[in-house]
C-alpha cells in the first residue's frame, strides 16, 4: 500500500484515518482519487463499520460497503464488532485491486458480479467460500484466537482476514479473466490442471490423505494442491500479497543491499522494490531477497518467519501466468 499524508499539514496519516493526529484535520479516504482527503460526505456505515470512505451522497454507502450484500443484524453486537474488522480488511483488498487496475463488477449490476456475505457462525454453520461472484466469510475469522486455532488445526503457515479475502476474490477473478472455451482457459488447464475434476472427491482425498509429498516443488501452499481451482485462487492471492507488500516497501523506501557473504550469481540477495507495478520478473527479483531479509529479522526476534513460503520454479510460472492475464485485463 502507498503512504498517505494529511491534506492540511502533510504529516503521515493511516489508510484508515479519520483525523490527522498532528493537526486534528478531519480526513477520509476518497475511492475515486485513491487518496486521503479532507473529510466530506461520510459513508452510511461510518459508525457501524468504522468506515472512513467517502460516499457519493448523504446517507449513501461508499463503493466498498455497497459490495456487501449481507451483514449482521443491528442487535448482534458481537457480529457487528467482527463485521467492522472484516470490512476494514475488505477496504484494503479493494484498494489493492484498484491500484492494479483490475476490472470489478458489483453484484448489484447483475448475476455474477462481485459481492460479499459476512455471516456469523455463532448460531449456525457458515462456510467461507465463493459461489457465482458472492464471497462468504465466516465472521469468526475476525477472532484471532479462532483463526490461530484453525491455522494450527489445518497445518497452515499463514491465516489472516486479508488472506481469506484475497483467496476468495481470486476464485471470482478466474471467471473474469478466463472465458470458457478461450485459449487462456486451455493454457490455464495446462499450467494449473483441469478444473473440471471432481471437486468433492478432491477435497475428500486432500483431507483424508493430505497433500502429496512433493507439493512444495509444485504449489505455493499445501491447500493449493487439492484442486486446480484452489491452486489458481492460492496463486492469485499470493500475486496480490507480492504486489501489495512490494508497493508498501517502495513507499517506505525499504531496500535490501544484501549481506557481504553468500552472494551467488544465480541468487542475487539485493532488493530494490519498484515504486510502480513492474513486470513479474522485476517483482520476483525484488520480492525474494526482501523476504529473506525480513525472515532473518524475525528470527533475530525469536518469532516465526514473516514469509513462510518458498516459490519453486513451477509456482513462479503460475504467478507469471496470473500476472499476464491481469495486465491484459487492466482498466485505466
- pTM, two decimal places: 0.95
222's grid cell:
499445501
Backbone angles phi, psi at 106, to 5 degrees: -80, 155
pLDDT of 203-226, one tens digit each? 999 999 999 999 999 999 999 999
Q: Which one, of 277, 291, 261, lies nearest residue 327 by Cα?
A: 277
Q: Which residues contact 303 (CB under 8 A, 6 or more apart)?
A: none
Q: What is the mean pLDDT of residues 228-242?
A: 98
Q: How many CA atoms lie within 13 A of 253 on its CB side?
A: 0
Domain positions in the chain? 63-177, 179-332
pLDDT of 60-107, one tens digit each? 999 999 999 999 999 999 999 999 999 999 999 999 999 999 999 999
Amino acid at each position: 500500500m502507498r503512504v498517505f499524508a494529511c491534506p492540511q499539514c502533510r504529516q503521515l496519516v493511516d489508510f484508515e484515518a479519520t483525523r490527522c493526529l498532528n493537526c486534528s484535520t478531519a480526513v477520509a479516504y476518497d475511492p475515486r482519487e485513491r487518496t486521503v482527503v479532507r473529510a466530506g460526505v461520510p459513508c452510511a456505515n461510518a459508525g457501524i463499520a468504522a468506515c472512513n470512505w467517502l460516499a457519493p451522497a448523504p446517507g449513501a454507502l461508499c463503493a466498498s460497503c455497497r459490495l456487501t450484500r449481507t451483514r449482521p443484524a443491528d442487535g448482534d453486537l458481537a457480529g457487528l464488532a467482527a463485521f467492522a474488522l472484516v470490512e476494514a480488511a475488505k477496504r484494503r483488498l479493494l484498494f489493492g485491486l484498484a491500484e492494479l487496475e483490475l476490472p470489478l463488477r458489483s453484484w448489484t449490476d447483475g448475476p455474477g458480479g462481485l459481492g460479499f456475505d459476512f455471516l456469523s457462525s455463532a448460531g449456525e454453520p457458515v462456510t467461507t467460500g465463493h459461489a457465482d461472484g458472492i464471497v462468504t466469510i465466516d465472521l469468526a475469522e475476525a477472532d484471532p484466537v479462532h483463526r490461530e486455532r484453525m491455522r494450527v488445526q489445518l497445518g497452515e503457515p499463514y491465516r489472516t482476514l486479508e488472506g481469506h479475502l484475497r483467496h476468495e476474490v481470486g476464485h471470482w477473478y478466474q471467471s473474469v479473466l478466463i472465458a470458457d472455451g478461450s485459449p487462456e482457459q486451455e493454457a490455464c488447464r495446462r499450467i494449473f490442471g483441469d478444473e473440471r475434476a471432481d471437486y468433492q472427491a478432491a477435497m475428500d482425498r486432500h483431507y483424508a490423505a493430505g497433500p502429496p509429498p512433493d507439493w512444495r516443488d509444485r504449489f505455493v501452499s499445501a491447500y493449493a494442491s487439492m484442486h486446480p481451482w484452489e491452486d489458481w485462487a492460492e496463486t492469485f492471492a499470493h500475486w496480490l500479497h507480492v504486489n501489495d507488500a512490494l508497493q508498501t516497501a517502495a513507499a517506505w523506501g525499504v531496500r535490501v543491499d544484501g549481506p557481504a557473504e553468500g552472494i551467488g550469481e544465480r541468487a542475487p540477495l539485493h532488493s530494490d522494490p519498484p515504486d510502480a507495478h513492474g513486470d513479474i520478473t522485476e517483482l520476483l527479483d525484488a520480492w525474494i531477497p526482501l523476504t529473506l531479509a525480513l525472515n532473518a529479522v524475525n528470527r533475530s526476534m525469536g518469532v516465526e518467519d514473516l514469509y513462510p513460503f518458498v516459490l519453486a520454479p513451477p509456482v513462479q510460472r503460475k504467478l507469471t501466468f496470473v500476472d499476464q492475464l491481469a495486465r491484459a485485463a487492466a482498466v485505466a
